[in-house]
Structure 1
Amino acid sequence: MIVGIGVDVVDVPRFEQHLARTPRLLPRLFSPSERLLKPRSLAARYAAKEALIKALGGSDGVHWTDIEVTSEPSGRPTFALSGETAATVTGRGIRALHLSMSHDAGLATAYVIAEATDAATLPDATTRPREKDDA
Protein backbone atom coordinates (compact mmCIF):
# COMPACT_ATOMS: atom_id res chain seq x y z
CA MET A 1 0.00 0.00 0.00
CA ILE A 2 1.37 3.43 -0.97
CA VAL A 3 1.62 5.66 2.11
CA GLY A 4 3.57 8.56 0.66
CA ILE A 5 4.72 10.18 -2.56
CA GLY A 6 7.35 12.89 -2.91
CA VAL A 7 8.81 14.78 -5.82
CA ASP A 8 11.45 17.50 -6.01
CA VAL A 9 13.15 19.51 -8.76
CA VAL A 10 16.50 21.28 -8.39
CA ASP A 11 18.01 23.96 -10.63
CA VAL A 12 21.52 22.53 -11.14
CA PRO A 13 23.41 25.82 -11.81
CA ARG A 14 21.79 27.46 -8.78
CA PHE A 15 22.60 24.40 -6.66
CA GLU A 16 26.24 24.60 -7.81
CA GLN A 17 26.35 28.27 -6.79
CA HIS A 18 25.02 27.41 -3.31
CA LEU A 19 27.70 24.73 -2.88
CA ALA A 20 30.43 27.13 -4.04
CA ARG A 21 29.25 29.90 -1.68
CA THR A 22 28.75 27.58 1.28
CA PRO A 23 31.31 24.73 1.20
CA ARG A 24 30.12 23.34 4.55
CA LEU A 25 26.87 22.25 2.84
CA LEU A 26 28.64 19.35 1.14
CA PRO A 27 29.44 17.40 4.35
CA ARG A 28 26.09 18.40 5.91
CA LEU A 29 24.05 17.03 3.00
CA PHE A 30 26.05 14.17 1.50
CA SER A 31 27.90 11.01 2.50
CA PRO A 32 31.65 10.79 1.78
CA SER A 33 31.08 8.66 -1.35
CA GLU A 34 28.38 11.03 -2.65
CA ARG A 35 30.71 14.02 -2.27
CA LEU A 36 32.90 12.65 -5.06
CA LEU A 37 30.14 13.03 -7.67
CA LYS A 38 29.61 15.76 -10.25
CA PRO A 39 27.32 18.67 -9.32
CA ARG A 40 24.44 17.45 -11.51
CA SER A 41 24.52 14.08 -9.73
CA LEU A 42 24.66 15.82 -6.35
CA ALA A 43 21.67 17.93 -7.35
CA ALA A 44 19.71 14.79 -8.26
CA ARG A 45 20.63 13.21 -4.92
CA TYR A 46 19.59 16.36 -3.10
CA ALA A 47 16.26 16.19 -4.94
CA ALA A 48 15.97 12.51 -3.95
CA LYS A 49 16.50 13.31 -0.27
CA GLU A 50 13.95 16.15 -0.41
CA ALA A 51 11.47 13.85 -2.20
CA LEU A 52 12.01 11.20 0.48
CA ILE A 53 11.24 13.71 3.24
CA LYS A 54 8.05 14.68 1.39
CA ALA A 55 7.05 11.02 0.94
CA LEU A 56 7.56 10.51 4.69
CA GLY A 57 5.33 13.49 5.45
CA GLY A 58 8.03 15.61 7.09
CA SER A 59 11.56 15.66 8.42
CA ASP A 60 10.96 14.52 12.02
CA GLY A 61 13.51 11.80 12.75
CA VAL A 62 15.24 12.25 9.40
CA HIS A 63 18.86 13.36 9.02
CA TRP A 64 20.51 14.24 5.70
CA THR A 65 23.66 12.21 6.27
CA ASP A 66 21.60 9.14 7.26
CA ILE A 67 20.29 9.09 3.67
CA GLU A 68 22.66 7.91 0.96
CA VAL A 69 21.62 7.41 -2.64
CA THR A 70 23.37 4.36 -4.05
CA SER A 71 22.91 2.20 -7.12
CA GLU A 72 22.03 -1.44 -7.53
CA PRO A 73 24.27 -3.44 -9.91
CA SER A 74 21.71 -2.76 -12.66
CA GLY A 75 22.22 1.00 -12.15
CA ARG A 76 18.81 1.51 -10.55
CA PRO A 77 19.04 4.15 -7.80
CA THR A 78 18.11 3.16 -4.28
CA PHE A 79 18.37 4.52 -0.75
CA ALA A 80 20.85 3.24 1.83
CA LEU A 81 19.42 4.48 5.13
CA SER A 82 21.18 4.43 8.48
CA GLY A 83 20.86 5.78 12.01
CA GLU A 84 17.74 7.53 13.19
CA THR A 85 16.41 7.88 9.65
CA ALA A 86 16.41 4.09 9.14
CA ALA A 87 14.68 3.64 12.50
CA THR A 88 12.10 6.31 11.62
CA VAL A 89 11.28 4.71 8.28
CA THR A 90 10.99 1.24 9.84
CA GLY A 91 8.95 2.62 12.74
CA ARG A 92 6.44 4.08 10.31
CA GLY A 93 5.81 0.63 8.85
CA ILE A 94 7.44 1.43 5.53
CA ARG A 95 8.73 -1.71 3.87
CA ALA A 96 9.87 -0.32 0.51
CA LEU A 97 11.04 2.95 -0.98
CA HIS A 98 10.97 3.40 -4.74
CA LEU A 99 13.22 6.07 -6.25
CA SER A 100 13.56 7.53 -9.73
CA MET A 101 15.99 10.36 -10.57
CA SER A 102 16.97 12.27 -13.67
CA HIS A 103 18.93 15.35 -14.75
CA ASP A 104 18.77 17.21 -18.03
CA ALA A 105 18.75 20.80 -19.33
CA GLY A 106 20.01 22.25 -16.06
CA LEU A 107 17.37 20.53 -13.91
CA ALA A 108 17.57 17.53 -11.63
CA THR A 109 14.46 15.74 -10.43
CA ALA A 110 13.58 12.86 -8.15
CA TYR A 111 10.40 10.97 -7.38
CA VAL A 112 9.89 8.73 -4.32
CA ILE A 113 7.11 6.33 -3.41
CA ALA A 114 6.93 4.99 0.17
CA GLU A 115 5.16 1.67 0.55
CA ALA A 116 3.91 -0.01 3.75
CA THR A 117 2.56 -3.47 4.38
CA ASP A 118 -0.92 -2.15 5.18
CA ALA A 119 -2.55 0.88 6.79
CA ALA A 120 -3.25 -0.96 10.03
CA THR A 121 0.49 -1.16 10.78
CA LEU A 122 1.03 2.57 10.53
CA PRO A 123 1.34 4.35 13.90
CA ASP A 124 -0.93 7.27 13.03
CA ALA A 125 -3.10 5.64 10.39
CA THR A 126 -6.67 6.83 10.26
CA THR A 127 -9.25 5.57 7.88
CA ARG A 128 -12.67 6.78 7.02
CA PRO A 129 -15.07 5.68 4.35
CA ARG A 130 -14.74 7.68 1.17
CA GLU A 131 -17.65 9.91 0.34
CA LYS A 132 -19.00 10.03 -3.19
CA ASP A 133 -17.86 13.65 -3.51
CA ASP A 134 -14.30 12.98 -2.27
CA ALA A 135 -11.88 13.28 -5.15
Structure 2
Amino acid sequence: MIDPTRIQGAVIGIGCDLVDIERVREMHERHGERCLTRIYTEAEQAYCLQMRNPYPSLAARFAAKEAVSKAFGTGIGKEFGLLSLSVGKGQNGEPVAVLDDQGQALLEKVGGTEVLLSLSHTSTQAMAFAVVVRNPS
Protein backbone atom coordinates (compact mmCIF):
# COMPACT_ATOMS: atom_id res chain seq x y z
CA MET A 1 0.00 0.00 0.00
CA ILE A 2 1.21 3.49 -0.83
CA ASP A 3 1.99 5.79 2.07
CA PRO A 4 0.30 9.04 0.98
CA THR A 5 2.59 11.14 3.17
CA ARG A 6 5.58 9.85 1.20
CA ILE A 7 4.47 11.35 -2.11
CA GLN A 8 3.08 14.71 -1.07
CA GLY A 9 4.82 17.61 -2.69
CA ALA A 10 5.35 19.26 -6.00
CA VAL A 11 5.47 17.52 -9.34
CA ILE A 12 8.63 18.64 -11.14
CA GLY A 13 8.10 16.67 -14.35
CA ILE A 14 6.32 13.71 -15.92
CA GLY A 15 7.28 11.40 -18.74
CA CYS A 16 5.98 8.28 -20.44
CA ASP A 17 7.24 5.94 -23.11
CA LEU A 18 5.96 2.96 -25.09
CA VAL A 19 8.29 0.29 -26.54
CA ASP A 20 7.63 -2.61 -28.90
CA ILE A 21 8.88 -5.79 -27.21
CA GLU A 22 9.80 -7.32 -30.56
CA ARG A 23 12.10 -4.37 -31.28
CA VAL A 24 14.05 -5.06 -28.08
CA ARG A 25 14.29 -8.77 -28.93
CA GLU A 26 15.56 -8.01 -32.44
CA MET A 27 18.07 -5.49 -31.11
CA HIS A 28 19.43 -8.06 -28.65
CA GLU A 29 19.63 -10.79 -31.29
CA ARG A 30 21.39 -8.45 -33.73
CA HIS A 31 23.87 -6.86 -31.30
CA GLY A 32 24.15 -9.44 -28.51
CA GLU A 33 25.56 -8.71 -25.09
CA ARG A 34 27.09 -5.43 -26.28
CA CYS A 35 23.67 -3.83 -26.58
CA LEU A 36 22.65 -5.09 -23.14
CA THR A 37 25.70 -3.57 -21.43
CA ARG A 38 25.16 -0.22 -23.16
CA ILE A 39 21.50 0.01 -22.11
CA TYR A 40 20.99 -1.97 -18.90
CA THR A 41 22.81 -2.05 -15.57
CA GLU A 42 24.21 -5.34 -14.31
CA ALA A 43 21.34 -5.57 -11.80
CA GLU A 44 18.73 -5.08 -14.54
CA GLN A 45 20.38 -7.70 -16.75
CA ALA A 46 20.57 -10.21 -13.88
CA TYR A 47 16.88 -9.69 -13.05
CA CYS A 48 15.57 -9.84 -16.63
CA LEU A 49 17.79 -12.55 -18.08
CA GLN A 50 16.81 -15.08 -15.41
CA MET A 51 13.26 -15.04 -16.82
CA ARG A 52 12.07 -17.54 -19.40
CA ASN A 53 11.15 -14.61 -21.66
CA PRO A 54 13.25 -11.58 -20.66
CA TYR A 55 12.06 -9.25 -23.43
CA PRO A 56 8.91 -7.78 -21.83
CA SER A 57 10.94 -6.83 -18.74
CA LEU A 58 13.84 -5.49 -20.80
CA ALA A 59 11.42 -3.44 -22.90
CA ALA A 60 9.71 -2.03 -19.79
CA ARG A 61 13.08 -0.98 -18.40
CA PHE A 62 14.05 0.66 -21.68
CA ALA A 63 10.74 2.53 -21.59
CA ALA A 64 11.47 3.57 -17.99
CA LYS A 65 14.81 5.07 -18.99
CA GLU A 66 13.12 7.10 -21.73
CA ALA A 67 10.21 8.11 -19.46
CA VAL A 68 12.52 9.32 -16.69
CA SER A 69 14.65 11.28 -19.17
CA LYS A 70 11.47 12.96 -20.41
CA ALA A 71 10.36 13.71 -16.83
CA PHE A 72 13.72 15.44 -16.32
CA GLY A 73 13.19 17.33 -19.59
CA THR A 74 16.56 16.24 -20.97
CA GLY A 75 15.96 13.15 -23.06
CA ILE A 76 18.76 10.59 -23.26
CA GLY A 77 22.07 12.36 -23.77
CA LYS A 78 24.84 14.18 -21.94
CA GLU A 79 22.87 15.03 -18.81
CA PHE A 80 21.09 11.68 -18.42
CA GLY A 81 22.44 8.48 -19.92
CA LEU A 82 20.84 5.08 -20.38
CA LEU A 83 22.78 3.74 -17.40
CA SER A 84 21.82 6.71 -15.19
CA LEU A 85 18.70 4.78 -14.16
CA SER A 86 18.41 1.23 -12.94
CA VAL A 87 14.95 -0.13 -12.25
CA GLY A 88 14.96 -2.00 -8.96
CA LYS A 89 12.23 -3.56 -6.84
CA GLY A 90 10.73 -2.09 -3.70
CA GLN A 91 9.52 -3.91 -0.59
CA ASN A 92 6.23 -4.87 -2.22
CA GLY A 93 7.65 -5.66 -5.66
CA GLU A 94 6.93 -2.20 -7.05
CA PRO A 95 9.41 -0.69 -9.52
CA VAL A 96 11.89 1.67 -7.88
CA ALA A 97 14.10 4.21 -9.64
CA VAL A 98 17.74 3.79 -8.66
CA LEU A 99 19.82 6.70 -9.97
CA ASP A 100 23.58 6.71 -10.48
CA ASP A 101 25.65 9.75 -9.51
CA GLN A 102 24.81 11.55 -12.78
CA GLY A 103 21.09 10.88 -12.36
CA GLN A 104 21.16 11.90 -8.70
CA ALA A 105 22.95 15.15 -9.58
CA LEU A 106 20.28 15.90 -12.20
CA LEU A 107 17.51 15.14 -9.69
CA GLU A 108 19.05 17.66 -7.28
CA LYS A 109 19.61 20.20 -10.08
CA VAL A 110 15.91 20.21 -11.01
CA GLY A 111 14.90 20.42 -7.35
CA GLY A 112 13.50 16.90 -7.13
CA THR A 113 13.79 14.46 -4.27
CA GLU A 114 12.38 11.29 -5.81
CA VAL A 115 11.43 9.60 -9.08
CA LEU A 116 8.24 7.53 -9.06
CA LEU A 117 7.79 4.80 -11.68
CA SER A 118 5.01 2.65 -13.04
CA LEU A 119 5.66 -0.12 -15.57
CA SER A 120 3.33 -2.36 -17.54
CA HIS A 121 3.34 -4.56 -20.62
CA THR A 122 1.11 -6.55 -22.90
CA SER A 123 2.30 -9.39 -25.11
CA THR A 124 3.57 -6.87 -27.69
CA GLN A 125 4.30 -3.56 -25.96
CA ALA A 126 5.80 -2.27 -22.72
CA MET A 127 5.20 1.12 -21.18
CA ALA A 128 6.58 3.23 -18.38
CA PHE A 129 5.32 6.34 -16.63
CA ALA A 130 7.66 8.47 -14.51
CA VAL A 131 7.10 11.39 -12.18
CA VAL A 132 9.85 13.53 -10.68
CA VAL A 133 8.63 14.97 -7.38
CA ARG A 134 9.88 17.27 -4.67
CA ASN A 135 8.74 16.02 -1.29
CA PRO A 136 8.18 18.57 1.48
CA SER A 137 11.02 18.85 3.97
Shift of 1:116: 2.4
- Aligned equivalent of 2:90, options 60, 72, 89: 72
Q: Report the equivalent of 1:81.
A: 99
Q: Does structure 1 retain, via aligned residues, the 8 Å contact 2:86–2:98?
A: yes
In structure 2, C-alpha distance between the alignment counterparts of 1:117 and 1:85, rounded to whole Å: 17
> Within 5 Å, which residues of 2 pair with 1:114-133?
114-116=132-134
Shift of 1:117: 5.0
In structure 1, C-alpha distance between the alignment counterparts of 2:118 and 2:135, rounded to whole Å: 21
Query: Secondary structure in 2 aligned to 1:19?
Result: helix
Q: Which runs of 5+ in 2 are unaligned?
A: 1-9, 49-53
> Within 5 Å, which residues of 2 pair with 1:6-85?
6-23=15-32, 24-36=34-46, 37=48, 38-59=54-75, 60-85=78-103
In structure 2, C-alpha distance between the alignment counterparts of 1:97 and 1:33, rounded to whole Å: 18
Q: State the TM-score, normalizing by the size of structure 1.
A: 0.81
Q: Report the equivalent of 2:110.
A: 92
Identical pairs, percent: 31
Alignment RMSD (CA, Å):
1.4
Q: State the TM-score, normalizing by the size of structure 2.
A: 0.80
Aligned length: 118
Deviates more, 1:31-40 or 1:59-68: 59-68
Structure 1 stretches of at least 4 aligned residues deviating more than 6 Å after TM superposition: none
Q: Does structure 2 retain, via aligned residues, the 8 Å contact 1:93–1:117?
A: no
Q: Report the equivalent of 1:126.
A: none
Which one has a bigger Cα radius of gyration?
1
Shift of 1:84: 1.3
